[in-house]
């Protein structure tokens, strides 16, 4: 990453009209994350300290007009080729990154983001990279579990999931010893699925805010933890029971995911298309108070149900 600016001769035209438009967001935006498609790369090589790439110099690929609040802000790429990320911040600072995201993707995070205009370029690392499709992803969900830029604190992957990301508005004690133990699994594990029996529900309404974040849960500890060593396989966490249950998962990045009825019937399922290695904290909630403390199975699989 770089916080000292390029030489004047190297400076891209941050005043130019962005090729793929301007995104206007205010802190607390939903849905979160926000994804916007661009074409990476360009005809000019730029070389900043620890950050090389090929970009269009005449204008940003994308601008972000952002009204900041109390959340951190992350800007990252999602592309199948090796890309770099260059941002000109509201205070006139140049920051770039290569490979701090998932795989060869780039990621920048600001712990205390400024309000104003962020000019964004997505470059290709290689001169033979062409202009591949890419996405620029904006999020406030990563919390403190991540890397920092000079002005600023994720991670992420963003390991995409079939369920909406969520924002913590209360306390689920993910650091406590899980009630039903910890599953230690590496990609390619067998038998698949790995199954654990738990008792769904608890004494409090789910304090996590987001789509699918419903039901009564045990706030004092996760029902189950998964320590997972990822490769290229997708990861599925889902329930099997006779009652209406919900599922809440804290991913290794510190990001929260929730689901209600995404599985078979009234069961819940969360799919991570690009799972991270690390610890997943899992809660199974009961949608109805009358079904509280009912038995449920949690399945962990790399095979889509």
Q: What is the pLDDT of residues 39-92, one digit of tens each?
A: 998 989 887 666 788 999 999 999 999 999 888 899 999 988 889 999 999 999
Q: What CATH number labels 8-139?
A: 2.60.120.380
Cβ-based neighbours of 113, under 8 Å, separated by 6 or more: 66, 68, 72, 73, 152
Q: What percent of the chain has pLDDT over 90?
A: 51
Task: Name the band, by pLDDT with cuts 50, 70 and 90, for residue 125.
Answer: confident
Q: What is the pLDDT of residues 235-251, one digit of tens each?
A: 999 999 999 999 999 99
83 near 104, Cβ under 8 Å?
A: yes
Average pLDDT over residues 158-183: 70
Residue 163's pLDDT is what?
54
Average pLDDT over residues 139-165: 42
Find out if CATH 3.40.640.10 is the number for domain 165-301.
Answer: no
Q: What is the pLDDT of residues 211-233, one digit of tens each?
A: 788 899 999 999 999 999 998 88
**Alpha-carbon span 177 to 200, nearest angstrom:** 17
In the predicted structure, residue 174 carries a pLDDT above the cut 60: yes
In the predicted structure, residue 146 carries a pLDDT above the cut 70: no
Residue 154's pLDDT is what?
27
Average per-residue pLDDT for the chain: 84
In the predicted structure, residue 144 carries a pLDDT above the cut 50: no
Domain residue extents for the chain: 8-139, 165-301
Q: Do domains 8-139 and 165-301 have the same CATH topology?
A: yes
């Amino acid at each position: 990453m770089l916080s000292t600016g390029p030489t004047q001769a190297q400076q891209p035209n941050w005043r130019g009209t962005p090729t793929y438009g301007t995104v206007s967001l205010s802190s607390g935006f939903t849905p979160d994350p926000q994804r916007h498609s661009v074409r990476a790369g360009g005809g000019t090589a730029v070389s900043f300290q620890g950050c090389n790439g090929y970009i269009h110099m005449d204008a940003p690929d994308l601008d972000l007009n952002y009204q900041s609040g109390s959340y951190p802000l992350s800007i990252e790429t999602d592309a199948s080729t090796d890309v770099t990320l260059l941002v000109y911040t509201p205070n006139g600072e140049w920051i770039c990154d290569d490979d701090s995201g998932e795989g060869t993707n780039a990621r920048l995070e600001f712990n205390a983001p400024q309000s104003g205009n962020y000019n964004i370029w997505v470059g290709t690392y290689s001169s033979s990279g062409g202009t591949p499709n890419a996405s620029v992803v904006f999020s406030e969900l990563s919390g403190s579990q991540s890397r920092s830029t000079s002005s600023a604190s994720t991670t992420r992957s963003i390991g995409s999931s079939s369920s909406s990301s969520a924002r913590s508005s209360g306390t689920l004690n993910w650091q406590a010893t899980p009630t039903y133990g910890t599953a230690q699994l590496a990609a390619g594990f067998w038998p698949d699925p790995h199954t654990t029996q738990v008792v769904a529900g608890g004494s409090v309404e789910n304090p996590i805010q987001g789509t699918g974040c419903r039901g009564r849960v045990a706030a004092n500890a996760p029902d189950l933890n998964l320590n997972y060593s990822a490769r290229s396989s997708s990861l599925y966490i889902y329930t099997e029971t006779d009652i209406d249950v919900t599922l809440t998962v804290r991913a290794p990045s510190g990001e929260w995911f929730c689901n209600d009825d995404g599985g078979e019937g009234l069961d819940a399922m969360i799919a991570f298309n690009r799972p991270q290695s690390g610890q997943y904290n899992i809660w199974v909630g009961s949608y109805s108070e009358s079904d509280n403390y009912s038995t449920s199975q949690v399945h962990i699989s790399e095979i889509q149900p």
